[in-house]
Structure 1
Amino acid sequence: MSLKESLYIFKSGKLSRKDNTLLFTPINEIENQDNNDSNKKNFLPIEKIKDIFVFSEITINSKLINFLASNGIIVHFFNYYGYYTSSLYPREKYLAGELLIKQVQNYIDNDKRLYLAKCFVLGGIYHIFRNIYKNLSKLESLDYQTIETQVYNAKDIFDVMSIEGKLRKIYYQVYFGISERTKNPPLDKVNSLISFGNSLLYSTIITELYHTQLNPTVSYLHEPYVRRFSLALDISEIFKPIIIDTVIKNLISNDNILEDNNFEEDLNYVFLNEEGKKKFLKKYKSKLQETTYYRKLKREVSFNFLIRLECYRLMKHFMEEELYTPLKTWW
């Protein structure tokens, strides 16, 4: 049996339930379709879909929503510029009251919260240095052990984020050649790629969190604000350098992604067009499916599953079964 995959929708149209599967009908075919012509209908086997990413305008109804919920499928919506706006999130099916209490206790206790916040940042810092190790000889001011020690000695979360922020500024200059990280809106092509990629990763982590007993709204590095799954933001700190940044580097080096025909500009806003998004998603999907040997399990696992494993390790930490330490890649 094949593994479930993400479904990406770029055409506007109607997504509906047809018996025990999904049916997508593009808008032009809704207006002109022959009801007896089944060749125009796009049937999508529900058992092969993990989650759905929508980059267009679609019509759905309650029958479809109930069907998706019963199959545990999350739908992520993105705006015209390609950035995450919301998720259609089914009722959680793995609720665990004891785990939720432990999550909240780790947030309320300042020392426990600070420990986890440092872990997320340390995981990200390790992978940042992994990405730029070839350039370290040119950067006398950058030393991994020094920055790691600064994080360990930080007295509060503000200090932790400040250390990480200063490092990322240098990192983006070295790794991508940009002088400033701009977002909301991104002002150049590389910043546009980073913002789009981070939106994708955030959505992927939301899906992985849904399939665990973790509550995605209780976070430690980022404040758990209303209307966001802030634990996904915490976990993303570890994976952005090894998934999103490497995908972007690959696209720049091998696919000429920075050519004008992959972007559009709107006043001071630069964003990927549909063709550019599809190129990015192709590389992103390939990266998530890429496998590596995981020592603890003694088998090959995908990058996508590494995210799930990180969630499981957090669960063990909360239940006091195993002290959490962030993933640090060894390949």
Structure 2
Amino acid sequence: MKQLLNTLFVTSEDIYLSLDGENVVASREKQAAARYPLHTLSGIISFAYPGASPALMGACAQRGVSLAFCTPRGRFLARVCGESNGNVLLRRTQYRTADDPAQSCRMARSMIFGKLYNARWSVERTRRDHGLRIDGARLEQASARIKALLPLVAEETSLDALRGLEGTGATAYFSVLDEMILGEKPVFSFPGRSRRPPLDPVNAMLSFSYSLLAHDCAAALESVGLDAYVGFLHRDRPGRSSLALDLMEELRPCMADRFVLTLINNRIVKRADFTYRENGAVLLSASARRSVLKHWQERKRESLTHPYLGEQLSWGMVPYIQALLLARTLREDLDAYPPFLWK
């Protein structure tokens, strides 16, 4: 259990929440493990199956404390709402912001700044750790091109121009991704991004990892009361969780791409883990998907220091913290959305 931004995160799978007077009681096997004054909390997100007592759910609904339930793996299940749902004000603000191109750009440029910053840091990390095994000059040039885009992104006021800058940065980044792959070649070569369908093992793993990350981001947004389907950079499209795609932009390089690089460079995945179709599509086998999911969950349990909060937390908590920060920005508790800047 951890309290961040006045939100209680219940990460132990066997915790049951109840109400005792003015306190939230976290119990394990009917023994109180911790107590938190309810009036100090703005939200509770539980990743435990035992759930919460009706008394606590009622108290949260009456006092405007958001209470959301997710599976231990992070899939959103439900959120408790009372007679009047305070989230309606947050969502109305989200919709008004999404309808205003200038305000949408203000939110989106922070996310794209984070994406390019983290992409550059990923390149720099490879230069630092594997300088003798790579073409350092190519990576240095790509890093410099991405760095030059950062001040332009920070000042951009047009969504279309912002998308252009993001595309330029992505091109520079993906142009050296093959250099960052140290595993078996040519099985794990990266000629360029391909999707629907992926045409090589690296793209198959990237697409699968992006799907996992998008799922986690959508669950995080729903848990704080935001509409995962109304985005700022990605516009409305039926069936597409556009805000989840926005939120995951800054997390792609550090959570998904580095995860794929680790699986390949540590030789956790092999050629036999992929199915090659007659139409050129390359897909992960069923057993390989289970293995990747296992390592994804292990990766999410690893700890880091959040660059904005300065607090120790797990990687799996990062989308939820960023969703909270986004909600607070929309409520104008923060002047601007602070993207996740990997260090």
Q: TM-score, normalised by structure 1?
A: 0.70
Residue 3 in structure 1 maps to residue 11 in structure 2: yes
Structure 2 CA distance for partners of 1:294 and 1:166, relative to 1, 3 Å:
closer
Does the CA-based 8 Å contact 1:74-1:90 persist in structure 2?
no
Structure 2 CA distance for partners of 1:194 and 1:315, relative to 1, 3 Å:
same
Residue 47 in structure 1 maps to residue 50 in structure 2: yes
Q: How far 1:152 moved relative to its partner?
A: 3.2
Structure 2 CA distance for partners of 1:92 and 1:189, relative to 1, 3 Å:
farther
Aligned-partner residue type, residue 116 of structure 1: M
- CA-based RMSD: 2.8
Structure 2 CA distance for partners of 1:4 and 1:207, relative to 1, 3 Å:
farther
Structure 2 CA distance for partners of 1:109 and 1:71, relative to 1, 3 Å:
closer
Does the CA-based 8 Å contact 1:264-1:271 persist in structure 2?
yes
For 1:9, the equivalent position in structure 2 comes to none
Per-residue Cα deviation, 1:39-94 (whole angstroms, up to 9, x for no partner): xxxxxx9339xxxxxxxxxxxxxxxxxxxxx9845799xxxxxxxxxx99657747
Structure 2 CA distance for partners of 1:46 and 1:115, relative to 1, 3 Å:
same
Does the CA-based 8 Å contact 1:244-1:284 persist in structure 2?
no
Structure 2 CA distance for partners of 1:146 and 1:185, relative to 1, 3 Å:
same
Q: How far 1:161 moved relative to its partner?
A: 1.7
CA distance, structure 2, for counterparts of residue 226 and residue 75 of structure 1: 28
For 1:126, the equivalent position in structure 2 comes to 117
Aligned-partner residue type, residue 47 of structure 1: P
Runs of 5+ unmatched residues, structure 1: 6-44, 49-69, 77-86
For 1:225, the equivalent position in structure 2 comes to 237
Deviation larger for 282-291 or 119-128 = 282-291
Matches within 5 A, 1:258-277: 259-267=270-278, 268-277=280-289
CA distance, structure 2, for counterparts of residue 158 and residue 296 of structure 1: 28
Q: How far 1:282 moved relative to its partner?
A: 2.2
Residue 117 in structure 1 maps to residue 108 in structure 2: yes
Does the CA-based 8 Å contact 1:264-1:270 persist in structure 2?
yes
Q: How far 1:295 moved relative to its partner?
A: 6.0
SS in 1 for 2:276: strand
CA distance, structure 1, for counterparts of residue 76 and residue 317 of structure 2: 22
CA distance, structure 2, for counterparts of residue 295 and residue 125 of structure 1: 16
CA distance, structure 2, for counterparts of residue 312 and residue 88 of structure 1: 15
Q: Percent identity?
A: 21
1:148 to 143, 146, 150: 150
Matches within 5 A, 1:75-90: 90=78
Q: How far 1:329 moved relative to its partner?
A: 2.0
SS in 2 for 1:46: coil
CA distance, structure 1, for counterparts of residue 259 and residue 90 of structure 2: 34
1:159 to 152, 158, 161: 161
Structure 2 CA distance for partners of 1:121 and 1:46, relative to 1, 3 Å:
same
For 2:170, the equivalent position in structure 1 comes to 168
Residue 313 in structure 1 maps to residue 304 in structure 2: no
Matches within 5 A, 1:1-331: 3=11, 46-47=49-50, 72-73=69-70, 90=78, 93=81, 96-133=87-124, 134=127, 137-138=137-138, 139-140=140-141, 142-177=144-179, 178-257=190-269, 259-267=270-278, 268-294=280-306, 297-323=309-335, 324-330=337-343
Does the CA-based 8 Å contact 2:49-2:72 persist in structure 1?
no
Structure 2 CA distance for partners of 1:159 and 1:71, relative to 1, 3 Å:
closer
Per-residue Cα deviation, 1:174-201 (whole angstroms, up to 9, x for no partner): 1235232000000111000000000011
SS in 1 for 2:231: coil
Structure 2 CA distance for partners of 1:245 and 1:295, relative to 1, 3 Å:
closer
SS in 1 for 2:250: helix
Q: How far 1:214 moved relative to its partner?
A: 1.3
Q: TM-score, normalised by structure 2?
A: 0.68
CA distance, structure 2, for counterparts of residue 306 and residue 326 of structure 1: 11
Per-residue Cα deviation, 1:233-283 (whole angstroms, up to 9, x for no partner): 0001011111111111111111241x2210001221100002211221122
CA distance, structure 2, for counterparts of residue 319 and residue 88 of structure 1: 23
For 2:4, the equivalent position in structure 1 comes to none
SS in 1 for 2:167: helix
CA distance, structure 2, for counterparts of residue 253 and residue 147 of structure 1: 29
CA distance, structure 2, for counterparts of residue 328 and residue 244 of structure 1: 15
Aligned-partner residue type, residue 239 of structure 1: L
Does the CA-based 8 Å contact 1:4-1:47 persist in structure 2?
no
Aligned-partner residue type, residue 46 of structure 1: Y
Aligned-partner residue type, residue 110 of structure 2: C
SS in 2 for 1:216: coil
Does the CA-based 8 Å contact 1:201-1:244 persist in structure 2?
yes
